[in-house]
Amino acid sequence: MIKFQRGFSLIEIFISLAVGLMLLLGVLSVFVGMKTTTVQTTSYGELQENGRYAISLLSDDLLRQGFWGDLTGTLDVSGLVSSPLPSSVAGDCIGEGVNNASFPAAIGHFRTIWGDTVTNVSLMGCITNAKLGSDVLQIKRAISSPTALADISSDDYYIISNPNTGGIFAGDGAVPSLSFGQIWEYQQHIYYVREDNQGTNKVPVLVQGRLQNKTAVMNLDMVVEGIEYIRFMYGVDTTNNGVVNAFISADNMTASYWDNENDVRILAVKIFVLARNILPDNNYENLNSYQLGDLSVDFIDGDGNGDNYRRLLFSSTITLYNARIDSWP
């Protein structure tokens, strides 16, 4: 008996191919969706990490602004047993005002906090590449942990202080004689945003300027990539009642506010940090607007098109404890 083997009919083959194609499309759809989700998650993870680190760095400095170890009150050259001349740092970053270098001068109020909104890429005598529209921040303080005499470094400056007086000195110089004095590292920090070239891409970075003795200059080093804007709103007490009356942007602050004249004090600072991905994503268009205090920024061109970078806005409010009391936290 002869048996005939029957194959698939043409219709059955087409049906099988159609079912297989649908299954393949489903698998590809899941794969593409998972890849897109992974890219987005990685992008936002990068933004979170960079933005939070920038906020942490700025907050730590602001919390200790005006801290001078055991010395109470404000830092004034007339109340110190010794201090380097303001002109002793070559290439110093000098902010606005008659007394705003790294070390106090014998004139005017020594500004331990100062800021401005960048309108010129060159500023403070040391910066040549600041990002327009972002802010620059200048802070002076002592590092919060005392330094043992054996741990003094020739690279740095220090302040030795007791509750009544103090002395500032270079690490490779003589330590001033001071009864019951402890030694603390003395610092001036500058923060601003610049754009670095990475291939054909411009990457915004947060820069920290740090006072050093060995090089006798301010070292300007990148500390966080992907920080596109920093902006600060200064909480000012204009009635001397210990309460902030208004938060004012740097470009609207007056000289009397920076100099604490007429019982005015800066009691708090609002920090705004806009973080941006380092690389663009051509599958994403950013049509968002971001509010940095009193400043609104977007990245939409004249034709209504956004760019291809994801961004996140971070903010924090810092109380300047050393502006309120006469003993340090």
Q: Identify the pLDDT of residue 326.
A: 41
Largest CA distance in the chain: 122
> In a 10 Å sphere around its CB, with 0-12 CB exposed, 13-18 middle and 19+ buried, how is residue 146 labelled?
middle
Alpha carbons within 13 A on the beta-carbon side of 20: 6
Q: Look up residue 156 and give its DSSP letter.
A: S
Q: Identify the pLDDT of residue 1.
A: 55
Helix %, strand %, coil % for the chain, to 5? 25, 35, 40
Tell me the backbone φ, ψ of residue 286, rounded to 5 degrees: -95, 110
Q: CB count, 10 Å around CB of 44?
A: 14
**Residues pairing with 168 in the sheet:** 159
Instruction: Please say whether the beta carbons of 58 and 230 come within 8 A.
Output: yes
Q: Identify the pLDDT of residue 24.
A: 76
pTM of the model: 0.85
Q: Following CA atoms 277, 278, 282, 288 in sequence, which dihedral angle do they give, to the nearest 10 degrees?
A: 30
Q: In sequence order, which residues have a C-beta less than 8 Å from that of residue 84 and are 6 or more positions away?
A: 102, 103, 157, 168, 169, 170
Q: How many residues belong to the chain?
A: 329
Q: Identify the pLDDT of residue 73.
A: 79
Q: What is the 3-state secondary structure (H, E, C) of 45-112?
A: HHHHHHHHHHHHHHHHHHHCCCCCCCCCCCCCHHHEEECCCHHHCCCCCCCCCCCCCCCCCCCCCCCC
Per-residue pLDDT of the chain (329 residues; tens, 9 = 90+): 555 556 667 776 777 777 777 877 777 776 665 655 666 667 888 999 999 999 999 999 999 998 999 998 788 898 899 999 888 887 889 999 999 999 999 999 999 999 999 999 999 999 999 999 999 999 999 998 999 999 999 999 999 999 999 999 999 999 999 999 999 999 999 999 999 998 888 999 999 999 888 655 688 999 999 999 999 999 999 888 888 999 999 999 999 999 987 778 899 999 999 999 999 998 899 999 999 999 999 999 999 999 999 999 999 999 998 765 443 34
Report DSSP letters for 220-238, one per residue. Answer: EEEEEETEEEEEEEEEEES
Q: SS3 for 253? A: coil
Q: Identify the pLDDT of residue 329.
A: 41
**Residues pairing with 298 in the sheet:** 289
What residue has token string 């220090």?
158
Q: Identify the pLDDT of residue 91.
A: 81
Helices in the chain by DSSP H: which ranges? 10-63, 255-258
